[in-house]
Amino acid sequence: MLAAPSKSGTIEIKGLQKVYESKKSRFEALRDIDLTIGENEFLTIVGPSGCGKSTLLRMVAGLDEPSGGSLQVDGEEIIGPGADRGMVFQGYTLFPWLTVRENIEYGLKLKGVSILERRKISNYFLKVIRLESFDKSYPKQLSGGMKQRVAIARALANRPRVLLMDEPFGALDAQTKLEMQEMLLEVWEKEKTTVLFITHDIDEAIFLSQRIVVMGAGPGRILKEFRVELPEGRTPEVREHPDFLALKRELGQLLKH
């Protein structure tokens, strides 16, 4: 198997600024963002539409450049996309001309991993996402939830130090979404990669995370953060836990204002 990453996945964001400028306009999307996401931590960002969540994630992914401040993974400045950071976004970004297995193995093939090794890794992840019998299927033959499971497996197969997820379950129906959340927690507990997750869904944020950061708009900034003290190995019943409900109320109030 491809070894687990040797370095931890610590993300350090310091004094981050983002200004979108054109000849006619100037828009300050993010101001003074300071945030450290620890090794193996599951951190979720919530906040109103337009507060800069995706902008922040895109910069960590190396898809967009900051206007100021610094962004590092394990002490190395982010200067572009890299195999150390896996990404799963809302739109299904699978390659339609590749089978499920080929999608999962795509990054490994690029890295020159042998076919034998690739098979071992894709077998493992097909099992993790419970799609063993769909290995030869094409994306168009899969449901939305199945596609997102493949996208997660494809990102994890490269053994990234960090997994970046921007509303990965936003387009799914309520039941599938719950199943996906449980699967993601299971995978995260097994793989122990650092996860930076974005959602609009407060329930989802509390169920999944160890820490939740609330952002506000105008300009995008961090308002408050919460540690989620619920035990690990969470099951759906945790949603009835008094601490879950109390945090849900508090976050709901904060986001309303």
Ligand X SMILES: Nc1ncnc2c1ncn2[C@@H]1O[C@H](COP(=O)(O)OP(=O)(O)OP(=O)(O)O)[C@@H](O)[C@H]1O
Between helix 174-191 and helix 115-128 the angle, nearest 10°, is 130
Strand pairing report for 194-198 and 42-46? parallel
Taking the complex as a whole, the smallest distance from the CB of residue 58 to ligand X amounts, in Å, to 7
Whose Cβ is closer to ligand X: residue 44's or residue 55's? 55
Residues forming the site for ligand X (CB under 6 A): 20, 27, 29, 47, 49-55
Complex with ligand X: residue 51 or 121, whichever CB lies closer: 51
DSSP string, 175-223: HHHHHHHHHHHHHHHHH--EEEEE-S-HHHHHHH-SEEEEEETTTBEEE
Q: Which is nearer to ligand X, 18 or 101 (CB)?
A: 18
Least CB distance to ligand X at residue 18 (A): 8
CA 168 and chain centroid, separation: 7
Which token pair is 24? 């006619």
- Report in angstroms how near the CB of residue 180 gets to ligand X at its nearest: 19
Phi, psi of 223 (to 5 degrees): -95, -45
Edge-to-edge order in the sheet of strand 194-198: 85-89, 162-166, 194-198, 42-46, 211-216, 221-227
CA 53 – CA 141 distance, rounded (Å): 32
Minimum CB distance to ligand X smaller for 91 or for 236:
91
Q: Residue written as tokens 């094409």?
A: 138
3-state secondary structure 80-98: CCCCCEEEEECCCCCCCCC
Write down the least CB distance from residue 89 to ligand X, Å.
Answer: 11
Nearer to ligand X, 49 or 175 (CB): 49
Residue number with CB closer to ligand X (47 or 168): 47
Cβ proximity to ligand X: between 27 and 95 the closer is 27
Helix (H) or strand (E) segment spanning residue 109: helix 100-110
Q: How far is the CB of 69 from ligand X (least distance, A)?
A: 16
CA-wise closest residue to 156 among 199, 110, 188: 188
CA pair distance 101, 137, nearest whole angstrom: 8
Least distance (Å) from ligand X to the CB of residue 98? 28
Q: What is the nearest approach in angstroms of ligand X to the Cβ of residue 30?
A: 8
